[in-house]
Amino acid sequence: MDTTPFFTQDTIVFGILMLTLGFVFYTSTSSNSGWKKFYKYVPALLMAYMLPAIFTSTGIISPEWETVNETGEITKHGSQLYYIASRFLLPAALVLMTLSIDLKAVFNLGPKALIMFLTGTVGIIIGGPLAVLLISIISPETVGGVGPDAVWRGLATLAGSWIGGGANQAAMLEIYHFNTKNYASFVIVDIVVANIWMAILLLGIGKTEKIDKWLKADSSAIETLKEKVSSYSAKTNRNPTLSDLMVILSIAFVTVGASHFGADVISNFLTTNFDAVRDKTSAFSSFGSQFFWMISIATIIGILFSFTKLKSYEGAGASKIGSVFIYILVASIGMKMDLTQIFDNPGLLFVGLIWMTTHVILLIIVAKLIKAPFFFLAIGSQANVGGAASAPVVAAAFHPSLATVGVLLAVFGYVVGTYGAMFTAELMRIVAP
């Protein structure tokens, strides 16, 4: 089946994404009362995410597609925009947003962020077998299967993705030898369910004060951190010169280059010298992920720079440029979501929805008990479900200075992802029909 979108060239698609972002920001800052009322309830970040998803769903653009030639041969094609945004712009954004970070203030946030992250992990571990158990009562064939076709093996890859990230997901595929011919259905469930939850979180950001009031949360430490960064930015604020902008871009993309170089060196060294890292069935295999090291190195460089005079470039708009990169990443993530796929495999989708609902309910209960702010709930969840690509996006939506918190938790997710996913998989094996 030919699934070619109307626009296939990345240059054109990038133009559409930038037109979308321009439209969102123009209307969100408009003095028009209609737009003001609309954006009072719908955050600009959510619009930047959902509009590309609508374009993908209607066949205007697509992250990947297939063409069929005269002989019936199928050729797969794909856009490189998400790859570029996540590998080039994400590390650039991280260093620019971390440049003015007050590390002491980050640590003063206390243990609640870590508690919410671990709660999110436990929610995924419990949610998987619970979803399999409930669906097996209603529709055992949906979560059945034997050998490599056993559905629990495919769901193990979701556990890897939702606790850690792509590297952990790949590790689960190797460890449990799931039939790759059926793998696409689980990828769709992963994308659809995770993105629905991310959209809900983004919607909730506009109601943070009301949610925090309901949770009876003390967000004073978060406000202190935001205030420190904002006051420093105001104190060093200046009209950026061409020199300032070039230095900021130099900081950003030299860091991108250094992050990729360091990631290649470390990843190759570990995979070459350690069997546990090289073996994709090992719990240590995620340490061979170049993406993991790229994100880690970019964040470390940003933190180191925050102790130097480079920190003053926050006053010339470093975090604003970082935010531009983040919004481009958001649009490229939104482009990956095809809303029509929600109906492709309703049985598996229900498994994913029950699973995610368990994760969310547990987060809400614990947040209520420990009076954790909505920010901690959101990044605790996204550090698990979204990983290093989504956690800083959600964190930065609260305030650019908070992006580092999302990254640090997401990196921790990579470390525990394979172990947590393996435990989840074994529980699903036990309850599967």
Task: Please choose, from the candidates 97, 87, 406, the residue with its C-alpha nearest in 3D space to the C-alpha of residue 264.
Answer: 87
Question: Are residues 151 and 431 in contact, defined by beta-carbon separation less than 8 angstroms?
Answer: no
With respect to residue 379, please indicate whether it lies within any of the assigned structural domains.
Answer: yes
- Examine the domain organization and report whether 103 and 15 are in the same domain: no
- Of 79, 108, 125, which marks where a domain is finished? 79
- Establish if 2 belongs to a structural domain: no
> Which residues, at least 6 apart from 16, have a Cβ–Cβ distance to it below 8 Å?
7, 52, 55, 60, 61
Q: What is the pLDDT of residue 282?
A: 62
Residue 190 located in a structural domain: yes
Q: What is the pLDDT along the chain (433 residues), one digit of tens a residue?
A: 667 889 999 999 999 999 999 999 999 888 888 898 888 777 787 788 889 989 998 999 998 888 887 777 888 888 999 889 989 998 898 888 888 777 776 677 778 888 998 999 999 999 999 999 999 998 888 888 888 888 888 898 889 888 877 667 777 777 777 876 677 678 778 878 888 888 888 888 888 889 999 999 888 878 877 777 777 777 878 899 999 999 999 999 999 999 999 999 999 999 888 887 887 666 566 677 788 788 888 888 988 998 899 988 988 988 889 889 988 988 888 888 777 766 767 888 899 999 999 999 999 999 999 999 999 999 899 888 877 667 887 888 887 777 778 877 877 777 777 788 888 988 998 888 8
Q: Which of 121, 110, 4, 113 is nearest to 63 (CA)?
A: 4
Return the pLDDT at 342: 66
Q: Is 30 helix (H, G, I), strand (E, B) or coil?
A: coil
Do both 164 and 74 map to the same domain? no
Residues 166 and 33 in one domain: no
The verdict on 34 and 128 lying in the same domain is: no
Whether residue 73 is found in the same domain as residue 98: no
The pLDDT score that the predictor gives to residue 1 is: 60
Check whether residue 109 and residue 62 sit in a common domain: no
Q: Tell whether 383 is covered by a domain.
A: yes
The answer to whether residues 54 and 113 belong to one domain is no
DSSP lists the bridge partners of residue 65 as: 77
* Cα–Cα distance measured from residue 62 to residue 113, given in angstroms and rounded to the nearest whole number: 36
- 54 and 141 share one domain: no
Domain boundary among 45, 79, 113: 79
Domain that holds residue 24: 10-79
291, two tokens: 């993406």
Render the burial of 32-67: b for 16+ CB within 10 Å, e for the rest. Answer: eeeeeeebeeebbbbbbbbbbbebbbeeebbbebee
85 inside domain? no
* Domain end residue (candidates: 26, 57, 79): 79
Number of domains within the chain: 2
The pTM (predicted TM-score) of the whole model is 0.74
Same domain? 243 vs 300: yes
- Residue 48, by phi and psi: left (phi above 0), alpha (psi -120 to 50) or beta? alpha
Residues 49 and 99 in one domain: no
